[in-house]
Amino acid sequence: MSKNKLYLAPSMGCCDLFDFKHQVEFIDKKADFLHIDIKDGNYVKTYSIGPDFMKTLKPVVKTPMDAHLMVKHPQWIIEECAKAGATYITPHTDCIESDAFVTIHKILDLGCKAGIALNPSTSLETIRYYLPLLSKVTIMIVDAGYAGQEVIEQMYEKIQTLVQWRNDMKLDFLIEADGSMNADVYGPLYEAGADVVVLGPPALWNKDKDIEKAWSIMQKEVENALIHVSRK
């Protein structure tokens, strides 16, 4: 992790369909990860893109794609996500409670990197025993599936605890923050120990209709937020 840098993971389902090709090509050159939210309308109350979306992106992007599975039964689509080109596959803890090790090993056996996502109320203790298998842990800083929420500030402490565990266990997984991202939280998230931030419309697309201008505004906000903060 570079000094005073947050890795950026735009949520690609937010791309403007009328400017899709341009936005994908531009973001692919700028982003560190491409975040792919897959929702089933069951685990969360909204629907979104699926593995076919990644299959469409696969021939034209070089940036690693992360399939964030906000689905009740992720086991059903893990193989599809791997075939579609996902580098990371990230289910939620409460959807793999009864078969966590089987699910994670399946992701790894398919040649992908395993991630895990935790809702704000989910304890870190739920993932302690399989942390060594993970390449990324996503901390939801709002409840999954509901737009327009205020960031839950206790999640900064949760990230700090996870950083301490990572150091104590001598592991090297990435810590990602997801939800209601905006200029006010980049600094606190970085200071807490987050490595990656997921960018939705308020953080990126709403900044300007022109994706290149929007990216420039967002990037300046990130840079300004990190000027006076440091890791503990």
Catalytic residues: 37, 178
Nearest CA to 78 out of 121, 32, 109, 49 is that of 109
- How crowded is the C-beta side of 95, counted as CA atoms within 13 Å? 25
Question: Which residue type is seen at 53?
Answer: F
How far apart, in whole angstroms, are the C-alpha atoms of residue 17 and residue 180?
22
Provide DSSP, 87-152: SEEEEBGGGSTTSHHHHHHHHHHTTPEEEEEE-TTS-GGGGGGGGGG-SEEEEESS-TT-TTPPP-
How far apart, in whole angstroms, are the C-alpha atoms of residue 153 and residue 126?
20
Angle between helices 183-192 and 154-168 (to 10 degrees): 30
